[in-house]
Structure 1
Amino acid sequence: MVFWDGYVSDEVMGTFAPIVVYWLYAGFYQLLPPLDNYRLHTRKEEDEKNLVPLLAVIKGVLLQQLVQATIAHLLFLLTSSTTPSVTVVQPSIIVQIVQIVIAMLVMDTWQYFVHRYMHQNKFLYRHIHSQHHRLVVPYAIGALYNHPLEGLLLDTFGGAISYLISGMTARTAAIFFCFAVVKTVDDHCGLWLPGNIFHLFFQNNTAYHDVHHQLQGTKYNYSQPFFPIWDKLLGTYVPYKLVKRPEGGFEARLIKD
């Protein structure tokens, strides 16, 4: 039993809830005060290094979400029982947790190899993936700022494959996709806040991904959004240390041999 029972279907929640959650969570970060003592980059660096204005970022994210919602809706129509006479039996909590873990591993695997290839293929990087790296200093609203083709291949297809392989229901998918969205936004927020649960439980976190956005880190730390497994297995992991800046805030500084 979930709070939306009797109001909207699981398929509708799976399609639109991740979009709503994205803007609520990213908007929360956007409305925070400057918090200079917790930033991984100064506000001056954000203004000087980023190559795309906020309005263009918002438009790019909305376009990607339109494509995602369309494909998610079609996927749910093809795989779910949507007739009123059919009641979907939800699996136990344990089974749903296992399905979510499987989906996390599948999504990580898909995104690692597609993401890495987009860096290694000069044509794809120059014409597709470099759009995301126009945000040299990441911030929350820009988490899904990508070229439309990258959004389709990396995020939309990655989510669809995770859903299909894990065997989860639309209800479990709604929960999983909302969690994945929150994690992705947090990874791009640019803040190292005390008590952040994602920093406590995930080694792949805000600083980890910030390293990848740095010029000297673009060939490392491809893993997203959950675990650094593939980076560590395939030699693309680079450690870092958080160093306090004299003017306030932190710097994720690479540790290389």
Structure 2
Amino acid sequence: MVFWEGYASDELMGTFAPIVVYWLYAGMYQLLPPLDRFRLHTRKEEEQKNLVPLSSVVKGVLLQQLVQATVAQLLFLMTSKLCSTETQIQPSLPVQLMQFIVAMLVMDTWQYFVHRYMHQNKFLYRHVHSQHHKLVIPYAIGALYNHPLEGLLLDTFGGAISFLISGMTARTAVYFFCFAVVKTIDDHCGLCLPGNIFHIVFQNNTAYHDIHHQHQGTKFNYSQPFFSVWDRLLGTYMPYNLIDREEGGFEARPLKDKLI
């Protein structure tokens, strides 16, 4: 039994829980003290380099989430009609764990190749993906700030395909999509906090993705949101050192001479 049983369906939770989690988790980062000694960029850099105001970022994220919720409802409606009641019985925890891993690998694969193509295709980069890179200095609330087409192709379709291929139930999908949202926000938060579980478990983390947002790294570190496997296999991995800045905080400095 889960806490929402009797109040909301798994399908409804799978649609709206990730949106609620997004604003709660990203909002937590937004409300934190400055924490300058853990930042990858100074607040002055953020103000000078970012090309879009916070209000526009919020509107862009809300638009993407509207599309995301619509597609999720259609997806759950389609799968509930195709599946019998028996196949919707919640599987054992080991099976759910395997479905999680499969979904993570599928999402990583989809996002790597779509993301990389959006950089390599000049038209798509100029008219679609460049919107996300207006946040040269990423921050948590801007994790899903994308052109609507990119949001649909990269995130929404990526989530749908991961759900379908992994075979997870709507209830398992609630946990998976919320987890994916939290990981994506963390990758864009701009902070290297001690004890951050995502930095301990995943090499694809805040500093890793920060390299991609900088001018010298836009052709590298395409992998998101979980692993760095595809970057390493296909020669787009850019290693880096995390060094202390004199004025406080950290800098993820690329090691161009050690490119894989």
Q: CA deviation at 1:3?
A: 1.3
Partner of 1:171: 171
What value does the CA root-mean-square deviation take over the aligned residues? 1.4
Q: CA deviation at 1:128?
A: 0.3
Q: How far apart, CA to CA, are the structure 1 residues paired with 2:138 and 2:80?
A: 36
Q: How far apart, CA to CA, are the structure 2 residues paired with 1:125 and 1:200?
A: 32
Partner of 2:234: 234
TM-superposition CA deviations, 1:7-61 (whole Å, max 9, x none): 1100000000000000000000000000000000000000000000000000000
Q: How far apart, CA to CA, are the structure 2 residues paired with 1:243 and 1:117?
A: 31
TM-score w.r.t. the length of structure 2 is 0.97
> Closer, same or farther in 2 for the Cα pair 1:89/1:81, shift >3 Å?
farther
The DSSP-based 3-state class of the residue aligned with 2:256 is coil
Give yes or no for contact 1:80–1:169 (8 Å, CA) kept in 2: no
Deviating runs (4+, > 4 A) in structure 1? none
Q: How far apart, CA to CA, are the structure 2 residues paired with 1:227 and 1:86?
A: 34
Q: How far apart, CA to CA, are the structure 2 residues paired with 1:133 and 1:152?
A: 17
Partner of 1:188: 188
Identity %: 80
The DSSP-based 3-state class of the residue aligned with 2:252 is strand
Within 5 Å, which residues of 2 pair with 1:118-133? 118-133=118-133
Q: How far apart, CA to CA, are the structure 2 residues paired with 1:59 and 1:82?
A: 35
The DSSP-based 3-state class of the residue aligned with 1:242 is strand
Partner of 2:210: 210
What one-letter code is carried by the residue in structure 1 that aligns with 2:26?
A: A
What one-letter code is carried by the residue in structure 1 that aligns with 2:181?
A: V
Q: How far apart, CA to CA, are the structure 2 residues paired with 1:2 and 1:216?
A: 46
TM-superposition CA deviations, 1:196-228 (whole Å, max 9, x none): 000000000000000000000000000000000
Within 5 Å, which residues of 2 pair with 1:1-257? 1-80=1-80, 86=85, 88-257=88-257
Q: CA deviation at 1:82?
A: 11
Give the number of equivalent residue pairs.
256
Q: How far apart, CA to CA, are the structure 2 residues paired with 1:86 and 1:131?
A: 43
Long gaps (5+) in structure 1: none
TM-superposition CA deviations, 1:221-257 (whole Å, max 9, x none): 0000000000000000010000100110000000011
